[in-house]
Structure 1
Amino acid sequence: MIKKVSILFAIIFLVFLVSCKSTDKNTDIYFGGKIINPKNSHVILYAMEEVVDTFFLDANNKFIGKVKKANEGLYYFSHGNENQHIYLEPGDSLMLRLNTWDFDESLVFAGKGAERNNVLIDCFLDTEKDKKLFYQYNQLEPAEFNAKADSLLQKKIVTYNEYIKTHSFETSGFNEILKIALTYPIYSRIEKYPIIHAKITEKNKLPEVETSFYDYRKQIKKNSDSLMYYPPYSRYIRNYLYNETFTLGHNPLESEYSSEFTLDLLNTINDKVSTESSKNAFLRQTVIGHFYNKSSCSINLEAFNTFFKLSTNEKDKKIITNLIDDSQSIIINEDLPQFAITDYANTEHSISDVIKDQNAFLFFWSPEFVSESYIVSRFQYLSKTYPNIQFIEIKINGDKNKRIQKLDIKNQFYLADNSAAHEFLTCKMPRSVLVNKKGKVVNGYASISSNNLTPFLNKLNKN
C-alpha cells in the first residue's frame, strides 16, 4: 500500500537530510519539497486552522523551512487552491514532490516521516476510488448495501492491522489517525446511504434499516476538537448529524433544506456534539451554508435566532450579525445602491455607468474565502452559458495590485477603502448581486456555487 518514492527524488534531498542534524532535532520539524507547475509563489502550513508558517518557492520551485518546537499531530499544507493533510512528529524532515496538474495523484514524500504520510495519501486516493463503488451500492436495499459496506470495511481493518503489526514504532496518535483515514469514509457512506437511496428510488421517506445497521456508532468518537478539520472525521460527523435530522421526519426529496430542517439540524448539533469548539463550528457552518444554498436575500430569522442562542463563539455571532445586516442592505426590485469601483488602471468608476443598460452579475469576493482558480472555472462557464449577462468580478479586500490573470481584465475591479459598497459587505464573505437592464436588483445575495442560482440566471439571460 506504501508509495515507492523514486531513487532520484530521494537522492535530490539526501544532502539536505544530512544537513538537518542539529542539537534541537528532537523538537523541530523540517518541511520542504518541490512544486512542479506551481500555481503561486508559496506553500502554507497549517495546524488546525491556524497558519504555522509560509514557505516561499525559490527559482527552482523548491522550498524549505523549519518549524521550531513542533507538536506531534495533524497538519495540512496548501498551495494554490489545493491542500492535503500530513502527520508530523518532532524530529521529522519531510520532503514532498507534486505536480499541480495532478495534485493528489502525483504527491509523494521522502525523508523522515515519509512512510506514514505516503500511507495517508494512499488512504485518500483509495477513498476517492471507493466513491465509484458506492454509486452502485446506494441502489441496493439496506441488507445488501450493509453486506457490501461491511465487506469493504473488513478489508480496511485488515490493512490497518497489517500496518501497525509491521510498524510498531508508530505512535498511538498516528495509529488513531490511520484508522480514521481507513474506516471513517466507509462509516460516512453508511450514514449518507438512507438519504441517497431515497432520492434514487424517489421515495419521500428513508428506507427502514435494522438497528444493527449503525452498530459501528458505538465505537465512534464524536467529540474531538483536534479532528474537527480532518476531512474523514468531519465529513462523517456532518453526515451523521444530517442523517439523524432526516430521521425526524423530513422529506429527503426536497431540493433545498426547509426552515424546519435547518432548525432541527441546529438542535441536533446541540444535542449530539458536546465539545464547545466543534459544536460552534458546525453551528456556524450550518447557518451560513444553508443561507448560501438558498441563494437569495430571504432570511430564516428563527434559525439565526437559534444559532445565536446555541453558539458560544462571539466572533461567529458577529460574522452572522453582519451577514444578516448585509443581506437586508440591498432590496429586491429596487435600484442598486450607488458605489464606486476601481479598475486595474487605478481609474474609479460609478457602478451605474459600468452596468448601464445591461443585465449584470456582480460578484464581490475576498481571497480569504474563495480561490482564484475556482472563480476562473466558474465564470468561464457562466459567461459562455449566459451570453446576455455581463459578469463582473469585484475584489473586496486583499492585494489591490493583483487581478485574476485568466479572466478579462475589463470586467475586473476592486473596492477602494472609501467605497460605499463596504456598507453592505461588512462580513467580507462572497456575495453575488443580479441586476437587470433597468438597474433593478433581481437577486441581492446569490451564491455562485448554489444550484438555486440557475433559475435567476435563466430568467435574466432571456430578458
Structure 2
Amino acid sequence: MNKIIVCIALFLLASCGEKEKMSPTVFFAGEIINPTNDYVVLYKGDQVIDSARLDANNRFSFSLDSVSEGLHHFYHHPELQYIYFEKGDSLQARLNTTEFDESLVFSGKGEEVNNFLLEMFLINESEEEHVYSLYKLEPEDFIKSIDSLKDDKLQLLNDLNAESRLSDGAYEIARSGITYTNYISREAYPFYHKKKSGDKDFHVLPEGFYDYRKQIDFENEHLTYLRPYYNFMKYHVGNLSYMACRKDCGGSVSVAHNQLHFNRHKLKCIDTLIKQKELRDNLFRNVAVDYLLKPDCEDNIKAFIDEFHQLSGNNKHIEEINNLYEGIKKIQPNKEIPDVLVTDSEDNQVSLKDIANGRQVVFYFWSGVELGHFKNIKKRVAKLKKKHPEYTFVGINLRTDKLRWKTLVEAHNLDKTEQFWAGDFEDVAHTLIVYDPFKSIIAKDGRIVDAFANVYTSF
C-alpha cells in the first residue's frame, strides 16, 4: 500500500510539473525602490509588449497569456535591462533606481538565467578599463589575455548549467553574450593598439587572428537584441568598411573629414553581409542616425539619404530616418531657427526665434531627471559665460515637471530670464534634433550659426 501511495504521489508531482512547464503563461512582477517614473514598460525587440503602472507600494506586475520565448527588455525611465522569458516562468524583480543594475535581483522560476545575464553585464562593465589596458599588448598576448577572461565566464556558465539545467535557448543566449563580448575586443584591437602604441600604421596581425569570424552567426534572429551581439556587428561592419576603403580607395582615410565616403562603405557592407531582416534594418538605422547627427553639407546629406533609400527603402525605421533628415534640413546654417515654443518663469509662452532675435545666443539643454548631468552643465555654462561674454547662454529644460523645474532654477540661483521650460519633449527633441546630452545651438539674430555645437568642444 505504501509503495502504491508513493507511486501515485510521484505521478501527480510529475503531472503538475509537466503542466507548469507547458503552461503558456508568464508572470513578471516586482518592486522598485525610489522610482523615477510611474510605469514599467516591457519590450520584445523594439516593440512594446505591455506596460504596468506602479501601485501605491511601488509594485508592478505583468501576466502574459502568451509570450514569445527568448530575450526581452523592461524599461523604467531612464534605465533598460534584459529579461529572458520561457513559458511557465514566474519571476520577481527587486531594484533600487539609485543603483539600478547593481541592485537588481531576480527570484522565482526562471531566475537562474536572468541573474546570470545580469552578472555578466556587470562583470563586462567592471572589466572595461582592464580590457582597454590590454590593447597595448602584442597580438598573441592580447588574445591569450582576453580568451582567459572569456574562458572564466564560460566556466561559470557551465557550472550553472550543470546545477540548473538551462534550456537550450537560455544557454545559447548566455553563451553568445560571452563569446561576442570577446569578439568585440578582437575587432577593436587593431585600432586601439595603434592608438596605445603610437604607431603610424596598424600592427601586422598574425595569421589566424580573425579566425573567430568563421563562427559568426549572421542569421540568428534570437540574438538580434542581445547587446554584445549587436555591438559586435557594429564594430565588425566598421572594421570591414574601414579596411576595405583603405585598400581600395587609396591614401589615408580620414573618417572625421569624409563622413559621407566612409558611411557609404558601411551601407554597402551591410547590404552585402547581412540578410536577416531585423538585424539588417537596425544596422542600417544605426549608420544613418550616426551620420545624420554629425554636421555635413546639405548636398552630402542628400546623397547619403538617396543611397540609404536605394539599399534599405523597406527599412522598418524608414519613417524615423526620413523625419530626422527633414528636421536636419531645417536647422542648417543660415536657416531661421525653428519656431519652437517654450515657457518662461512667469508661465508665458515664448518662441526660440524671439529669444534669439537681436543677439547672439547659445541654447543648451538639461533635465531635472539627470541631476549629475545638470550640475556638470551648470558648471560648464558658468565658465563659458566668463570666457564668451558676447553670447547669451539660454537653458532649455526637458523631461521635467514644471514645478520641479522652477524649484531647481530657484535652488541653484539660475538667472530666470535665461531659463525656459519645454513641456513637449518629443516636439523639441525631434525639431531641434536633441540626441546628444551636450548638444547646444548657436544662433544670431534668429538664424542658426551651428545647430550641432557641443558645450564642451565647440567653444
Give your verdict on TM over 0.5: yes
Which deviates further from its counterpart, 379-388 or 235-244? 379-388
The CA distance in 2 between the partners of 1:406 and 1:193, in whole Å, is: 48
Among 412, 415, 421, the residue aligned to 1:413: 421
Aligned counterpart, 1:280: 281
- 1:300-341 deviation per Cα after TM superposition (whole angstroms, max 9, x unaligned): 333322211110425533333333332222442465355644
The CA distance in 2 between the partners of 1:181 and 1:257, in whole Å, is: 33
Among 181, 184, 203, the residue aligned to 1:185: 181
TM-score by length of 2: 0.79
Asked whether the 8 Å contact 2:177–2:226 carries over to 1, the reply is no
Identity of aligned residues (%): 28
The reply to whether residue 443 of structure 1 matches residue 444 of structure 2 is no
Structure 2 counterpart SS, 1:408? helix
The reply to whether residue 84 of structure 1 matches residue 81 of structure 2 is yes
- 1:271-324 deviation per Cα after TM superposition (whole angstroms, max 9, x unaligned): 111112211211111021122144887743333222111104255333333333
Structure 1 counterpart SS, 2:56? coil
Higher helix share: 2
Among 91, 96, 114, the residue aligned to 1:117: 114
Aligned counterpart, 2:13: none
The reply to whether residue 383 of structure 1 matches residue 381 of structure 2 is yes
Asked whether the 8 Å contact 1:156–1:183 carries over to 2, the reply is no
The CA distance in 2 between the partners of 1:358 and 1:121, in whole Å, is: 51
Aligned counterpart, 2:161: 164
The CA distance in 1 between the partners of 2:424 and 2:239, in whole Å, is: 45
- 1:214-265 deviation per Cα after TM superposition (whole angstroms, max 9, x unaligned): 2222222123333222211101111111111222254587556632211111
The CA distance in 2 between the partners of 1:404 and 1:68, in whole Å, is: 41
CA shift at 1:402, angstroms? 8.5
Structure 2 counterpart SS, 1:211? coil
Count of residues paired in the alignment: 421
Asked whether the 8 Å contact 2:364–2:393 carries over to 1, the reply is no
Structure 1 residues 341, 252: closer, same or farther in 2, change over 3 A? Answer: same
Aligned counterpart, 2:240: 244
The CA distance in 1 between the partners of 2:234 and 2:115, in whole Å, is: 26
Asked whether the 8 Å contact 1:56–1:63 carries over to 2, the reply is yes
Aligned counterpart, 1:329: 330
Which deviates further from its counterpart, 208-217 or 101-110? 208-217
Among 84, 92, 97, the residue aligned to 1:95: 92
The reply to whether residue 211 of structure 1 matches residue 207 of structure 2 is yes
Asked whether the 8 Å contact 2:338–2:431 carries over to 1, the reply is no
Structure 1 residues 282, 41: closer, same or farther in 2, change over 3 A? Answer: same
Structure 2 counterpart SS, 1:239? helix
Aligned counterpart, 1:19: none
TM-score by length of 1: 0.79
CA shift at 1:361, angstroms? 3.3
Structure 1 runs not aligned, ≥5 long: 1-21, 459-463
Asked whether the 8 Å contact 1:27–1:70 carries over to 2, the reply is yes
Structure 1 counterpart SS, 2:304? helix
The CA distance in 1 between the partners of 2:231 and 2:319, in whole Å, is: 26
- 1:60-115 deviation per Cα after TM superposition (whole angstroms, max 9, x unaligned): 22222212212221111111211110111121111111111111111111111112
**Which residue identity is paired with 1:326?**
G
CA shift at 1:118, angstroms? 1.0
Asked whether the 8 Å contact 2:52–2:60 carries over to 1, the reply is yes
Asked whether the 8 Å contact 1:28–1:90 carries over to 2, the reply is yes
The CA distance in 2 between the partners of 1:153 and 1:309, in whole Å, is: 40
Which deviates further from its counterpart, 141-150 or 315-324? 315-324
Among 57, 60, 67, the residue aligned to 1:60: 57
Structure 1 residues 204, 276: closer, same or farther in 2, change over 3 A? Answer: farther
Asked whether the 8 Å contact 1:362–1:392 carries over to 2, the reply is yes
Q: How does 1:348-363 map to 2 (within 5 A)?
A: 348-362=349-363
**Which residue identity is paired with 1:199?**
K
- 1:358-377 deviation per Cα after TM superposition (whole angstroms, max 9, x unaligned): 54334689x9xxx8679746
Aligned counterpart, 2:172: 176
Asked whether the 8 Å contact 2:259–2:291 carries over to 1, the reply is no
Asked whether the 8 Å contact 1:55–1:65 carries over to 2, the reply is yes
Which deviates further from its counterpart, 130-139 or 319-328? 319-328
- 1:384-413 deviation per Cα after TM superposition (whole angstroms, max 9, x unaligned): 443354233276xx9997975785395233
The CA distance in 2 between the partners of 1:172 and 1:86, in whole Å, is: 16
Larger RCO (CA under 8 A, 6+ residues apart): 1
The CA distance in 1 between the partners of 2:317 and 2:198, in whole Å, is: 37
